[in-house]
A and B are shown apart, each in its own frame.
Chain A
Amino acid sequence: MNAPSPAPVGETSALVSTRFTVPGMRCAGCIAKIERELPKLAGIAAARANFSAKRVAIRHDPAMDESRLVEALRDLGFEAQPVADNPMGIEDKERKRLTRALGVAGFGMMNIMLLSVSIWSGADGATRDLFHWLSALIALPVIAYSGRPFFASAWMALRHRRTNMDVPISIGVILATALSLYETVAGGGHAYFESAVMLLFFLLAGRTLDAAMRDRTRAEIGALLGRMGKSASVIGPDGTTRRMAAAELDPGMLVLVAAGEALAADGEVVDGTSAIDNAMLTGESAPEPVGPGSIVHAGAINLSAPLRIRLTHVAEDTALAEIARLMDEAGQSRSSYVRIADRASRLYAPVVHSLAALAFAGWMIAGAGWHQSLVIAIAVLIITCPCAMGLAVPAAQVVASGALLRRGLLVKDGSALERLAECDIALLDKTGTLTLGSPRADVGALTQNQRAIALGLAQTSRHPLSRGLAATLVREGVEPAAVGAIREVSGAGLTGRWEGIEVALERPEDAGQGLATCLRIGSERHIIAFTDPLRCDAAATLAALAAQGVSASILSGDRAAPVETLARELGLAATAEASPQAKLAALEALKAQGRRPLMVGDGLNDGPALAAAHASIAPGTASDASQQAADAVFIGEKLMPVALAVQVARKTMRIVRENFAFAIAYNLIAVPLALFGLVTPLIAAIAMSVSSLVVVANSLRLAKAAQ
């Protein structure tokens, strides 16, 4: 069932694979469309969609480059971005290793338990010895394999003269195993293999849950720099052009930027008039007209006519690279945030060690003999083992993030929920965050025929307005008319012929009415206005945030007038025309006052602010870089997931605190019992498992939190 699309055999050696992120995949129909339609194009052998990761792997002819594949995906109606080879590879490997270890530990636990149960129910003599030997035979390889993540981490900590949660775990497991082995060889009555393996199984379950959470995080900076043009056509003194890689460019060089090309460095336009798409840097969706003397930045896309540009800043000095650097630094300061589980374990591990050592020393002094003293010390180590603590946080976070995902919010990182819960002030960007961000065409006044012609023209252009118009029309189920001889004239528009009549999408004659385009069919003209509407539940979301004690304000890089209009409408304070640096400074100022700001933004200019904020959320339409800098991404046209995220995060932290309180209460009862030798390692292992199950059950209550 559901076999992968068969790749043609034979010529496979000549094919290459490229991977794209396709955030627009929403349903089975999207998977079917991509996997069925793409291989029909010449040069594409197979396409395979990964729905969970929102990625598509395409096997194709090396002659087809990335931009043509992106174009092919766009023709199917999906925005796509090529992804670097495998940024998630390391995380992914880590999770797989943990899952494999968990499987092995589960196998070992069940089989050893089977043997142990028969020993407890009265097997003795030769049978008991045989069962002990069998248990040892299963337990030793299982412990060696499944225990590796803990042993490795404990060893690392000890080598740096530190201690962590894994040190008592490792000592407990190794001591229990060694003692059991001694008992088995000596033909003694007690072996504790099942305790050791059960311990590993439950600890691994916690770790695997945690890793599954972290898996959602991705490399931050790579995608950003990937948007910059990778090479440029440099014009030599003799007028010839040659391609040079972006890293080899020097300030002062003259480069030729063709229409549709991304700029590889910052510079000043010397010759030519065109429009550039600067959405990446400013978040403004309208194309910006440029002419001689205009300053242009790396990452901008030249839309219509070729430009000659004198370079001013290259490589690491470009505005884009500067933003990437700011994001990197801001993100690093945040990574110093200490997760609640680590804060607990820092206090916990030394206490456990001392208690176990004290128990051993105390019983030796009391004359109990080294064997019994050791058994008691092991029981202390196992019963205090932080399984419930290890599960307290990841179990609650996995359940909460699953509940949020069903409501359209993807939380990328476990610590994000902790930070979201602490936010007390929200800063929101305007374009693309409070508003939808993409120009929506008002096509209500057009007839069916006019819509078809408009789509026939608009779908051929990469101009943002054309794309917005085409997207609106496609959504309404319009079939494009067959428009031939289409020409795109820079700054003027598109012209073509439909059934012998000249048709055009062009700049309206009076430019004073905001974003609009004029559809001309023969001699009749229709103005199509574009608006960037407010998200429908923006006011409700702000009210919900206020109800939770989170005050909101607008922090935008847009022009003052539209920002103020919006702020008045929503009753918020607003800061307009803020540069990326100014946004970053505003956040730092808030943090210096002891506030915990939540940043919600989408533009690349929000990148540093997103990375610096205590917690941050980006819409699914944001640039890739912003999505990666943010802690969470919400999908769809509603803003409500933002308020929901804060609400669920707070509930999650309440559950986490309950879990911790339970784990501490459990230890307060169990540790004295173990210290006084009233608990065997087996009872310790069972008590510990029960406490873990209670914690997981408590966390499952969160599944309903987002409803």
Chain B
Amino acid sequence: MTGLAFLIPIALGMGLLGLVAFLWSMKDGQYDDLEGAANRILIDEEEEDA
């Protein structure tokens, strides 16, 4: 039973971490432009004014 003293805080902490990451990503605007993000990977960064 003493294992619970570690495992429950760890489980809760990991859950909280996920929640915080989600809230941060929303605030940071990660979901504002989902289609744009999908397209941006196609942009060639090296192409500096041909």
Q: Give the B-binding residues of A (Cβ under 8 A).
A: 1-2, 27-29, 31-32, 49-53, 96, 99-100, 103-104, 107, 110-111, 114, 127, 130, 134, 138
* Interface size in chain B (residues, C-beta < 8 A): 26
Q: Give the A-binding residues of B (Cβ under 8 A).
A: 1, 4, 8, 11-12, 15-16, 18-19, 22-23, 26, 31-37, 39-44, 47
Interface centre among B19, B26, B32 (most CB of A within 10 A): B19
Given A52-B32, A52-B33, A110-B15, answer yes or no on A103-B40 (Cβ-Cβ < 8 Å).
no
Residues of A within 8 A of B39 (CB): 27-28, 31, 51
Given A100-B23, A107-B19, answer yes or no on A50-B33 (Cβ-Cβ < 8 Å).
yes
Asked if A31 and B43 sit within 8 Å, CB to CB, the answer is: yes
Residue of B with least CB distance to A26: B39
Residues of A within 8 A of B12 (CB): 111, 138
Residues of B within 8 A of A53 (CB): 32-33
Task: Please pick, from B15, B40, B41, the residue contacting A107 in the complex, using a CB distance under 8 A.
Answer: B15
Residue pairs across A and B with Cβ atoms less than 8 A apart, 27 shown, are: A1-B41, A2-B41, A27-B39, A28-B41, A28-B43, A31-B40, A32-B47, A50-B32, A50-B36, A51-B33, A51-B35, A52-B33, A52-B35, A52-B36, A53-B33, A100-B23, A103-B19, A103-B22, A104-B19, A107-B18, A111-B11, A111-B12, A111-B15, A114-B11, A127-B4, A130-B4, A138-B12
Task: Please pick, from B16, B34, B40, the residue contacting A2 in the complex, using a CB distance under 8 A.
Answer: B40
Residues of A within 8 A of B18 (CB): 107
Cα of A28 to Cα of B45 in the assembled complex, Å: 12
Cα of A195 to Cα of B42 in the assembled complex, Å: 45
Residues of B within 8 A of A130 (CB): 4
- A129 CB to nearest chain B CB (Å): 13
Residues of B within 8 A of A1 (CB): 41
Cα of A344 to Cα of B31 in the assembled complex, Å: 33
Residues of B within 8 A of A32 (CB): 43-44, 47
Given A103-B19, A110-B15, A127-B1, answer yes or no on A96-B33 (Cβ-Cβ < 8 Å).
no
- B41 CB to nearest chain A CB (Å): 7
Q: What are the nearest 6 A-B pairs in CB distance?
A: A51-B36, A28-B42, A28-B39, A107-B19, A32-B43, A52-B35
Cα of A49 to Cα of B32 in the assembled complex, Å: 11
- B18 CB to nearest chain A CB (Å): 7
Residues of A within 8 A of B1 (CB): 127
- B49 CB to nearest chain A CB (Å): 8
Residues of B within 8 A of A103 (CB): 19, 22-23, 26
Residue of B with least CB distance to A102: B22
- B6 CB to nearest chain A CB (Å): 14
- B19 CB to nearest chain A CB (Å): 4
Residues of B within 8 A of A52 (CB): 32-36
- B1 CB to nearest chain A CB (Å): 7
- B46 CB to nearest chain A CB (Å): 12
Cα of A32 to Cα of B48 in the assembled complex, Å: 11
Residues of B within 8 A of A104 (CB): 19
Asked if B40 and A28 sit within 8 Å, CB to CB, the answer is: yes
- A1 CB to nearest chain B CB (Å): 8
Cα of A55 to Cα of B4 in the assembled complex, Å: 51
Cα of A53 to Cα of B33 in the assembled complex, Å: 7
Asked if B26 and A96 sit within 8 Å, CB to CB, the answer is: yes
Residue of A with least CB distance to B31: A99
Residues of A within 8 A of B35 (CB): 51-52
Residues of B within 8 A of A49 (CB): 33, 36
Cα of A514 to Cα of B3 in the assembled complex, Å: 88
- B31 CB to nearest chain A CB (Å): 8
Cα of A134 to Cα of B41 in the assembled complex, Å: 44
- A250 CB to nearest chain B CB (Å): 45
Asked if B16 and A107 sit within 8 Å, CB to CB, the answer is: yes
Cα of A50 to Cα of B36 in the assembled complex, Å: 6
- A347 CB to nearest chain B CB (Å): 36
Cα of A2 to Cα of B33 in the assembled complex, Å: 12
- B43 CB to nearest chain A CB (Å): 4
Interface centre among A2, A53, A104 (most CB of B within 10 A): A2
- B28 CB to nearest chain A CB (Å): 11
Asked if A31 and B36 sit within 8 Å, CB to CB, the answer is: yes
Residues of A within 8 A of B32 (CB): 50, 52-53
- A593 CB to nearest chain B CB (Å): 42
Cα of A104 to Cα of B23 in the assembled complex, Å: 9
Cα of A96 to Cα of B36 in the assembled complex, Å: 19
Cα of A492 to Cα of B44 in the assembled complex, Å: 45
